[in-house]
Structure 1
Amino acid sequence: MERSRLLECLADDYLRLRTVAGRDLAAPVPSCPDWTTADLVRHVAEVYLHKAMTMRAAAFPDPWPPEHLAAEEPVDLLDRAYGELIDEFARRSDGDATPTWHKPDQTVRFWIRRMAQESVIHRIDAELALEVQVAPVPDDLAVDGIDEVLKLFVDYGTHAWPGEFTTALGAAKGRTLAVRVTDGRAWLVRTDPDAVTVTDAAPSALSEADALVRGAPAPVLRWLWARESVPTADAQPPVTVEGDEEALREFRSVLVASTQ
């Protein structure tokens, strides 16, 4: 996705999060156990500020978060943090150097993409908490988010920090799982005891996978992040999940370890 498009999505989802969560800061967030919407808003604000300060200082701030942030009201803190984040992005080009947790990509663009994806998932959290209709996730943002969670959180994460996935991958046997977006991209996921490998795949090459997850972009993104709406008895599931149950359980276990 282009920089301008990512920033547009980031702006939309920051505003949606602010608007929805601001209606009731005491509401519990079902997708983030033990959090209220106030905790959710404060978390996003602290993430924004952390990235702004990282770019400004060319180093990760430590310790984090500063104690004085607790004195600010959550929505006020979110507004200030978003302003500082956007200001730092505006001062820099995509290729400018900055520390990130992804060693192959130490550029500002990494954080622009990451903050856009962080924001869409957490505004969905707010919508689920307030039990309001989840606003549409644009297809381009959803497909980019699927690619990010599979390749960065799952593939890179299991290779970079293998000790965090010992339980999830302890019984892995080289099973494969396909993730396919309706009329669009597809990914092949292979789980081995030491790590998970994710590759782009042609839809025609997925027939041999042990399991399959497929659907429109937004529902698949939400499924990967466990941000699905509560199903109703007469509703058709928006994501089709089929195949080897062990492969599916193993993949879900890796997702949980990768994204929490």
Structure 2
Amino acid sequence: MSARLTRERMLDAIEAQVGLVRFALAGGGDSAAVDPTAPVPSCPEWTVHDLVTHLGAVNRWGGVTVRDGNPHERSRGLGDAMKSAPPASAGAAALADWYASQASGMLETFTETDVDAPTWTFGGPGPATFWLRRQLHETALHRWDLENALGGPSATTPLPEDVAVDTIDEFCAVMYPHKGSRGPLPVTIRLRAVLHAPEGLATGAEPVGATAPGALEWDLPGAEGAGEVEVSGSPESLALLLWGRVGADDAGLEISGDRAGLEAALEAGLSV
């Protein structure tokens, strides 16, 4: 399913997220050097070096997949991209330079490619816009991981509301169904995004996977006969909840219904 954010909006947002990753690796304006071996609490067993190496390689792979334009075969090179990263001992500056080179190639490809150009996607042949959307949310999520690792939750940069709404939408309409080998959820989860901006979303930014046209509500169905839980809150809080970055006790969320079922679903890992 395609995104409703325009190509220009997605490109601008990806570029902004890439810039924030580079800024964080430079110390975020602080004179203290970033330690590439620092742990990343939201990605257990990863260091900053592991996180950025993963993100840079995935950014590059997304660009290569679009550039190859083969709708029937997954592009190769993800492993080689990861191996090309400098070692952690080379320092954060070297890692930042390497990441910039991976991301710039992706952005160049996305800028030059028609969003309707055929390519391989997780669901088979699809348009190149799938990869703009996927790399936007991949980069935004791991940018949050990096900022949180280096400075804690208060140091993370808020996601624009239209981007966060599309993060929820992509999760519910694309990424969660893609992980279809898991058993049913112990509870039906009904999500409702509450916008801060009184004017709402810009025209053309409405989600495509919501429960109804123009709605900011999504359902993740549970097993037959399961209870229901409603979770409402800011788009960013909902997005971070779905991707396991915050829990049900996050201050930006309101929960009613089967909270125990929600906790069980979160503990099992919605995004795993």
Q: Which range moved further: 12-21 or 137-146?
A: 12-21
1:227 — aligned with what? 245
Query: CA shift at 1:68, angstroms?
Result: 4.6
Report the 3-state secondary structure (helix = DSSP H, G, I; strand = E; otherwise coil) of the residue aligned with 1:211: strand
Q: Which range moved further: 141-150 or 46-55?
A: 46-55
Q: State the Cα deviation string for residues 36-74 of structure 1 (Å, max 9, x = none).
A: 111111111000111122223334333641175144743
1:114 — aligned with what? 134
1:189 — aligned with what? 220
- TM-score, normalised with respect to structure 1: 0.78
Query: CA shift at 1:250, angstroms?
Result: 4.6
Report the 3-state secondary structure (helix = DSSP H, G, I; strand = E; otherwise coil) of the residue aligned with 1:35: coil
- TM-score, normalised with respect to structure 2: 0.75
Question: Residues of 1 paired with 2:157 and 2:86: CA distance?
Answer: 31
1:42 aligns with 2:53: yes
1:2 — aligned with what? 6
1:178 — aligned with what? 190
Q: Which has the higher contact order (CA 8 A, sep 6+)?
A: 2
Gap runs ≥5 in structure 1: 194-208
1:150 — aligned with what? 172
Report the 3-state secondary structure (helix = DSSP H, G, I; strand = E; otherwise coil) of the residue aligned with 2:120: coil
Counterpart among 27, 31, 52 of residue 63 in structure 2: 52
CA pair 119-154 structure 1, distance change in 2 beyond 3 A: same
Contact map agreement 2:66 2:131 (CA 8 A) in 1: no
Equivalences for residues 99-110 of structure 1 within 5 A? 99-103=120-124, 106-110=126-130
Question: Residues of 2 paired with 1:143 and 1:70: CA distance?
Answer: 32
Report the 3-state secondary structure (helix = DSSP H, G, I; strand = E; otherwise coil) of the residue aligned with 1:80: helix
Contact map agreement 2:193 2:216 (CA 8 A) in 1: yes
Question: Residues of 1 paired with 2:177 and 2:75: CA distance?
Answer: 26
Aligned residue identity for 2:65:
T
Report the 3-state secondary structure (helix = DSSP H, G, I; strand = E; otherwise coil) of the residue aligned with 2:84: helix
Equivalences for residues 1-260 of structure 1 within 5 A? 1-23=5-27, 24=34, 25-57=36-68, 58=70, 59-62=73-76, 64-66=78-80, 68-71=83-86, 73-103=94-124, 106-132=126-152, 133-158=155-180, 162=181, 165-166=182-183, 169=184, 175-182=187-194, 185-192=216-223, 210-228=228-246, 237-252=251-266, 256=269, 259-260=271-272
Contact map agreement 1:49 1:82 (CA 8 A) in 2: yes
Question: Residues of 1 paired with 2:246 and 2:22: CA distance?
Answer: 21
CA pair 49-63 structure 1, distance change in 2 beyond 3 A: closer
CA pair 113-63 structure 1, distance change in 2 beyond 3 A: closer
More helix by share: 1
Aligned residues: 228
Contact map agreement 1:53 1:60 (CA 8 A) in 2: no
What is the percent sequence identity of the aligned residues?
Answer: 25
Gap runs ≥5 in structure 2: 28-33, 88-93, 196-214
Contact map agreement 2:118 2:128 (CA 8 A) in 1: yes
Contact map agreement 1:95 1:108 (CA 8 A) in 2: yes
Q: Which range moved further: 212-221 or 64-73?
A: 64-73
Calculate the aligned-residue CA RMSD, in Å.
Answer: 2.6
